[in-house]
Amino acid sequence: MSTESQPGTTPASTAPVVRLVGVNKHYGALHVLKDIELEVTKGEVVVVLGPSGSGKSTLCRTINRLETIDEGSIFIDGNQLPEEGKELARLRADVGMVFQSFNLFAHKSILENVTLGPIKVKGMKKSEAEKLALSLLDRVGVANQKDKLPAQLSGGQQQRVAIARALAMQPKVMLFDEPTSALDPEMINEVLDTMISLAKEGMTMIVVTHEMGFARKAADRVIFMADGQIVEQATPDQFFTHPQSSRAKDFLGKLITN
Ligand SMILES: Nc1ncnc2c1ncn2[C@@H]1O[C@H](COP(=O)(O)OP(=O)(O)OP(=O)(O)O)[C@@H](O)[C@H]1O
Ligand SMILES: [Mg+2]
């Protein structure tokens, strides 16, 4: 397994947006990602399922280098994710991330939360960043909240702001790690609907979720992880009706009986 894969050998236009080759990661004695091979093509929506502790969050976090890897390579749009430096910051901006907790800046307005990245990281003019932010806030249905502070919004609204903030960096891929699991039930659908429309508009997405309805409706492909490995990959229909592995059968069985 080489850690020396040549970057830039695939033209960006035909390269997968995200490509993981032989990725391994340990936390001490725990082998948390095992020989991960994954390619996500432009416009594809991949839903990652699996039991708690199977490595789903770690997988997401390695893709924008919030976590280092021990072995293997990660490519974003054909470019290998470097260890550090300017190039890392640039590639990281190509990867939008939305977490369970919204992590909005508490003392900044909704509008400022969305303009901050484009101004600071992309050097966008304030007026231009505000125009972009307003169109994105409108797209996720919270433009009328622009002057409020995050705490004055509902959880569902805050999460939609977090989506707008990630989109403001004009990422090539959006990663979602359980974006609805901290929300009250009545707010889950407004966030899922926003994600479904993003998917329909052709955004490349990797989504960790327990929302099987979303997986069925929006996923092009389901990836099932267990013990740090990708155990199964299939269309949602194939996965939910004919899971192959005993781990996947067990996982789905528990969902149905709960
Ligand atoms: N920073 C860390 N240090 C040590 N171990 C960690 C760390 N982060 C995660 N782990 C361990 O790595 C394994 C995978 O964790 P991860 O958070 O990726 O799982 P997950 O599939 O996202 O689970 P969940 O569905 O509960 O969110 C778990 O056993 C976890 O305890
Ligand atoms: Mg997780």
Residue 9, in any domain of the structure:
no
Residue 136, in any domain of the structure:
no
Alpha carbon of 6 to ligand 1 centroid (Å): 30
User: Ligand 1 atom 1: the closest Cα is on which residue?
Assistant: 27
Where residue 208 sits, what CATH number does that domain have?
Answer: 3.40.50.300
Residue numbers of the domain that contains 235: 16-103+172-257
Q: What's the pLDDT score for residue 11?
A: 54
Residue 234, in any domain of the structure:
yes
Region of residue 69 (phi > 0: left; psi between -120 and 50: alpha; otherwise: beta): beta
pTM, two decimals, is 0.92
Q: What's the pLDDT score for residue 8?
A: 47
Alpha carbon of 39 to ligand 2 centroid (Å): 20
Residue 165, in any domain of the structure:
no
Q: What's the pLDDT score for residue 1?
A: 40
User: Ligand 1 atom 7: the closest Cα is on which residue?
Assistant: 27
Residue 142, in any domain of the structure:
no
Residue 117, in any domain of the structure:
no
Q: How many domains does the chain have?
A: 1
Q: Express each pLDDT in 37-93 by its tens digit.
A: 999 999 999 999 999 999 999 999 999 889 999 999 999 999 998 877 788 888 888
Letter string b/e over residues 43-72, b meaning 16 or more CB atoms within 10 A of that residue's CB: ebbbbbbbeeebbbbbbbbbbbbebebeeb
Q: What's the pLDDT score for residue 173?
A: 97
Across the chain, which has 258 residues, the per-10-residue mean pLDDT values are 45 80 96 98 97 96 92 94 81 90 92 96 95 96 97 95 96 96 91 94 96 94 97 96 95 77
Alpha carbon of 161 to ligand 1 centroid (Å): 26
Q: What's the pLDDT score for residue 257?
A: 56
Query: Which mutation among 47, 49, 52, 178 tests ligand 1's pocket best, with the greatest number of atoms within 8 A of CB?
Result: 52
User: Ligand 1 atom 10: the closest Cα is on which residue?
Assistant: 27
Q: Which two tokens stand for residue 48?
A: 């990652």
Query: Which mutation among 24, 26, 32, 34 tests ligand 1's pocket best, with the greatest number of atoms within 8 A of CB?
Result: 32
Q: Provide the Cα torsion 246, 251, 253, 258; round to 10°.
A: 160
In contact, 32 and 100? CB cutoff 8 Å:
no
Residue 127, in any domain of the structure:
no
Residue 141, in any domain of the structure:
no
Q: Is 228 in the pocket of ligand 1 (CB under 6 A)?
A: no
Please state the atom number of ligand 1 nearest to the C-alpha of residue 61: 18
In whole angstroms, give the CA distance from residue 20 to residue 124. Answer: 31
